[in-house]
Each structure stands twice: as C-alpha cells, then as structure tokens.
Amino acid sequence: MGQLWLLGPLAWRNLWRNPRRTLITLAVVAIGVWSILSFDVMFKAWTRSSLEESLRLLTGEGQIHAPGYLDDPGVGHAMAEPSGALLKTLNGPAVAAWAPRVRVPAIIRSEYRTRAVTLLGVEPAAERRVSDLPGQMLQGRYLAGDDEAGIVIGRDLAAKLETRLGKRVIVMTQAADGHLAEVGLPIVGLFGNVTPAQDEYVFVGLRNAQSTLGLNGQLSEIAFDAGPRAELETSVQTLQRAAPGLDVESWMALSPLASTIEQYSKSYTGVWLMVMFVLMAIGIVNTQLMAVFERTREFGLLQALGMRPALIVAQVVLESALLIGVGVLAGVGLMLATVLPFTNGLDLGGLAAGSEMAGGGSVLYPTLEPGDAIASALIVWVLGVATTLWPARTAARIAPVVAMGAA
Amino acid sequence: MSAIIQCRGVSKTYSQGAVDVPALRGVDLDIEAGDFATLSGPSGSGKTTLLSLIGGLDRPTAGEITVEGEAIVGLAPAKLADLRLRKIGFVFQTYSLIPVLSAEENVEFVLRLLGRPAAERSARARQVLAEVGLAGLEKRRPAKLSGGQQQRVAVARALAPRPAIVLADEPTANLDSKTAEELIALMASLNAASGATFLIATHDARVIAHARRRIEMTDGRITADDRVAAVGA
C-alpha cells in the first residue's frame, strides 16, 4: 500500500512532461463527456417536450372508451355519459381534469375538395382543461359552447380544402342508426402548429355532434389527466374499478409511438455514449501507447531499480485515471455551464419549427438528473481507465535490460 | 572470502533474425564480498551482457547464477525485481534518473519501494547525497544538474538502501576526465567505507586502475582475472 503512495505524485508529474499532449487528451475527454452528458439532458428535455406536446394536444394522460371502440372507432361503440361511481371518481382526487367527447370518422367537403377527417364533438370549457389545442388558434376562435353551430379545423386542412375562415363546409358521417348524417357548418376558427396527423381533426360542439349522429347523451371517449405522472397508474386502476364495463387506458397504450420514443430515449443516449466513448478510447489508448513507447527505457529502469511489473501497470493506470478523471470533471463542468443557464427554458428560436415538426416544443426545459450524470461520468472514467490496461501491460512487459541500453 | 556472486557455465546467445550471435560462452566467475572489480574488454566482449545477467535484468541461455547464495535463473519477474531491490544497486552508463523527481526524491525512490518510513528515507537520502558531494542540491531535478552531478545522484541512489552489490555499467562513459576521476575515487571510497561489492563494466583505464580485481573479457569469455594493488590502495 505504501508503494501506491509513491505512484501518485510520480503519475501526476509524468502527466505534465508533455503538456501539449496531456492538454489535447484532456480536451478530447472533456468534450466527449460534455457531449454525452449534454446530449443526454437535451434529448431527455426534447423527449419530455415531445411527449407533453403529444399528450397535451389531444390525447390526455388517459382515456375511457366503450369496449371495442379502440379496434373500431366508430359511432357503433358509444358509451353513456358518466354517472354514478364513474362520475364521482372523475370528479374526485384521482383525476385532475376530464373532458367528454364524441369521436368518429367523417368526410369534410368544401366547395372544391373533400377530405377524410376525424370529427370530435367537445365541451369547450372541459376541453381547455385537458388539451392545449384550444390555445393554438391561428385565426378566428375556438368553439364557444357545446351546442355552437360552427366548426374548428386545422389551417393546413383548410388550405387542402381550398377554403377559409367564415366559409361553410359539409361534414358527413354515419349516424347511430346507420344512415348518412350530414351537417353544414361555418368555419369559426383555424388552429395550427400541430403534426399532419393532428391536422386531420375537426371540432364541433358536443351537443351538436350528438344531435347530428343521433347519439342521445352518448359519448365515444372521456379524456382525463391524472395530475402528477407517478399517479397515473393509480388513477387508471381507480377508474377501472369505478367503470368495470369500460376500457380505461393510459397514454402508454393509446400512443404507443410516444411511449416507444420515451422508452428508447435511454437507449439512444446509451448508443451515443458508446459511440463517443469509442472515439475517446481510441484517442486515450493511442496517447498512452505513445507515452509508453517514449518511456521504454524509463520503464526498464524502474524495473531494474526493483519496481514490480504489477506496480508498473498500476503507475500507468494511475496516470490514465488522473488524466481521464480531470477530463471527466472538466466535461461535467462544461455540461453544467451549458445546461444550468437554460433550466428555466431554452427557446429554440430558429430551430423551433424543426422541433415542432418532429413533435417537440419550441421551448425545451433541460433538467439535470445528478444520478444519471454521475453514472455516465463514472462509466466513461472506469471504461477509459480500463482501456489503458493495454498500454499499461505493454509497459510492464518491457524487459528491465533496456535500462542498460545507451540513450 | 566467500563468493557473493557465482556464475557457472553462463552463456547468452542473441537471435538476430535467422542468425544466432553468442555474447557469452560458458562464463565461470566468482566475485567475493567487498570486491572492487572491473570487467573490461573491447566492445562486444560481453561485459555489459554479463553484468545484466548477474543483475537479473536478463536471462542466460544456459548456466547458473547465484547472488548471495540465491539462484536467480528462472525466478519470476516480480521475484527478480524484489531481489534487485533488496540486494543490488545499479549505476548505468547514461544517468538514468527519473526526470520528474528531484535528486533527493530519486534517491528516496528505492527506499519508498522498500517501504522505509518517511523520516528514515529523507535522512538517508540526504546522508548519501552529502557523501557523494551533493549537499545543497537535493531539491534540484535532473535537468538542473550537470552530467557528473546526475551520475553522483545515481551512485547515491544505488547505495541508499545499503545493497550488498553495486553493478555499474560504463559509469564514466559520458563524463569529462575530471568528473570521471572524481566519480571513480568516490566509488572506491564508498566501497571501502560501506563494504559493498562493486562490479564495474568499463573500458576506461582510469577506472580499471582503481580496481583491486581486473577481469578481462574477449568474445564472450574471461581471458584474464587478476588481483592487484589498486591506485591509492
């Protein structure tokens, strides 16, 4: 153990025998660690933003449907408006907000074009509590009441239909009795900043939709928010108990893509960590091998003086541990300097449109997760040090007789 | 006197591609404790090779070597390192100091490997540096010392753990005449004072003149082995 104390100062001083090389290696490690940790934080922020955008726009954190609706989302699978235990639970502490909806496939027709859409009958006041879409009106206004004789559609859909705010469109769908239902409505508002799939939703008042479809007091779905994410599963179970005959699903089941993106975000970070680490490892091993070959005679001398080969390995590994350790700390420092100023929100500015197209928000909220950052930094440090076992073994295998050679 | 180093039938052959080059051819040699002996001969005579084999820095192709009665041929690298640490001090042709350590730290290095306490290490390092005439230069790093001073530090390092044997390979080769004379006289006086056995590979006539035993080698064989009265003896 006493011999190890000998190695510390020796290792540290050896690092600075070639300051330029040491600084370059430090920079490689620091930039690598910075990129790994910053990527992790930013990617998680984007994933979270993407998820929240997706859920807050329409899905909600969970939904309730009549059995069979998810497989065949038509007017035939309707359920009664909530009452009794279900209504009590929806208005209780397990649910932060909920909104009843009618949701059926439909055809919308303008003077010039016809498109397939999804018709949603909503209660505007309730909808504002579970959905951000009412706040994304670009022209006109959102629905004022659930019996309003007007329709809200996406701006892009309006362009495809070659129509505009104030013009009338015809909505056709199958009514509950199997006949074709048709209603003409003026466009009262155009929303935007949504994905192409979300652009195919059209909104009318809930009572208006029920009347058109012949759904007297019946609904297609109830969207709800459970509040804090950790409580979602509990809320879903509570609702399932309150409405045993209905399907109660969380967003993970309803939006498998969003769920998959969240699941795989950790894998992406892992892959990025691995790629960056391989690049760093190549640099570290190359540098340490060069350092060992430059000091061949010195390692022979150390053995000639009585230093055991294992201690030579320890010395080279310790030099690497110090070098990579300082690099990792510098990388963590850089990451903190990059991330901390934006914890109150990073406005993507010119990149916002791209982020929104990819399902993210225009403002990201990077959150530092110390456990993850420490784990990633430790992984880089430990694996980086492990890679230097190769140059260290090379140093230990240098025959002590080289100490006899002329310089 | 008892033999502190024994070589029996020691041969060493280097392979250079398909060609085998014999460096030592069946050397038999006994070095007595307290000897101040030189190995001399022309370049390629095998003196450095013999020194490296005795020091356990290399392995013979054939033959047996014992140091203080311990057979060293076949010892594992770690065991050989321990043997060198405990019994043998080296002085090399080039100064061979650790460049990032000061003179005192270089001398202390082997004492730290031996696990000696800090106070003892420091006191002993300063003592031997003073004995080789480097008092006041303890904190200087090798780059701030002259060639002669660096070789004195190497001698101090070799003597610091009080080894039974000091092996020196051409210790004066890179020194000017005056410095070389001083170093030789220093090693001879340390030999007399400490009783350590000195075996020096050299072709420097001034070093040979100080030796009490002069061993000559040619083509990997010992061709002469004379005991003489050394200069100043």
**Nearest residue in B to A312, CA atom:** B78
Question: What gap in Å lies between CA A214 and CA A216, rounded to an integer?
Answer: 6
Q: Is residue A286 part of a domain?
A: yes
Q: Is residue A135 part of a domain?
A: yes
Is 90 exceeded by the pLDDT of residue A105?
yes
The structure tokens 């060639």 sit at B147
Domain count, chain A: 2
Q: Are A323 and A15 in contact (CB under 8 A)?
A: yes
Kindly list the distances between the CA atom of residue B41 and the CA atoms of B23, B48, B168, in Å, as whole numbers in the listed order.
Answer: 13, 10, 15
Q: Are residues A385 and A315 in the same domain?
A: yes
Tokens matching residue A35: 């990129």
Q: Tell me the whole-structure pTM to 2 decimals.
A: 0.71
Q: Are residues A96 and A207 in the same domain?
A: yes
Q: Are residues A87 and A150 in the same domain?
A: yes
**Nearest residue in A to B53, CA atom:** A401
Each residue of B114-147: pLDDT tens digit? 999 999 999 999 999 998 889 999 999 999 999 8
Partner A contacted by B198 (CB < 8 A)? no
Q: Are A118 and A154 in contact (CB under 8 A)?
A: no
Tell me the average pLDDT across A3-11.
78
Q: Are residues A288 and A397 in the same domain?
A: yes
Ordered structural domains, chain B, with CATH? 3-227 (3.40.50.300)
Q: Are residues A50 and A82 in the same domain?
A: no
Pick from B88, B113, B121 the residue to mutate for testing the A interface (most A CBs within 10 Å). Answer: B113
**Which one, of A57, A48, A47, lies nearest residue A225 by Cα?**
A57
Which residue did the predictor score with more confidence, A196 or B72?
Answer: B72
Q: Are residues A235 and A263 in the same domain?
A: no
**Contact flag B112-A2 (C-beta cutoff 8 Å):** yes
Q: Is residue A272 part of a domain?
A: yes
What pLDDT is attached to residue A406?
Answer: 44
Show residues of chain B in contact with A3, CB under 8 Å.
Answer: 112-113, 115
Q: Which domain holds residue A82?
A: 67-245
Q: Rg of chain A over CA atoms, in angstroms? A: 31
Question: What are the contacts of B73-78 at 24+ separation with CB within 8 A?
Answer: B77/A303, B77/A308, B77/A309, B78/A308, B78/A309, B78/A310
Q: Are residues A375 and A290 in the same domain?
A: yes
| Among A182, A213, A245, residue at a domain's last position | A245
Kindly list the distances between the CA atom of residue A15 and the CA atoms of A147, A317, A325, B107, B212, in Å, as whole numbers in the listed order.
Answer: 77, 12, 12, 21, 45
Q: Are residues A205 and A128 in the same domain?
A: yes
| Among A245, A277, A306, residue at a domain's last position | A245
Q: Is residue A252 part of a domain?
A: no
What pLDDT is attached to residue B186?
Answer: 85
Q: Is residue A366 part of a domain?
A: yes
Question: What gap in Å lies between CA B77 and CA A266, rounded to an integer?
Answer: 47
Q: Is residue A76 part of a domain?
A: yes
What pLDDT is attached to residue A361?
Answer: 61
Q: Is residue A251 part of a domain?
A: no
Residue ranges of B 151-180 with Cβ closer than 8 A to chain A:
157, 169
What pLDDT is attached to residue A351?
Answer: 67
What pLDDT is attached to residue A407?
Answer: 35
Q: Is residue A109 part of a domain?
A: yes
Option in A14, A304, A310 nearest B84 (CB): A304
Question: What are the contacts of A239-246 at 24+ separation with CB within 8 A?
Answer: A239/A62, A239/A64, A239/A86, A239/A89, A239/A90, A239/A94, A239/A95, A242/A85, A242/A86, A242/A88, A242/A89, A243/A64, A243/A82, A243/A85, A243/A86, A243/A89, A245/A67, A246/A64, A246/A65, A246/A66, A246/A67, A246/A79, A246/A86
**Nearest residue in B to A305, CA atom:** B85
Q: Which residues pair with B165 in a beta bridge?
A: B88, B197
**Contact flag A306-B84 (C-beta cutoff 8 Å):** yes
Q: Are residues A225 and A181 in the same domain?
A: yes
| Among A193, A212, A245, residue at a domain's last position | A245
Q: Which residues pair with A153 in a beta bridge?
A: A190
Partner B contacted by A322 (CB < 8 A)? no
Is 80 exceeded by the pLDDT of residue A227?
no
What pLDDT is attached to residue B222?
Answer: 96
Option in A5, A298, A303 nearest B81 (CB): A303
Q: Are residues A233 and A372 in the same domain?
A: no
Q: Are residues A197 and A264 in the same domain?
A: no
**Nearest residue in A to B89, CA atom:** A305
Q: Which residues pair with A63 in a beta bridge?
A: A223, A249
Tell me the average pLDDT across A171-190.
92
Q: Are residues A324 and A198 in the same domain?
A: no
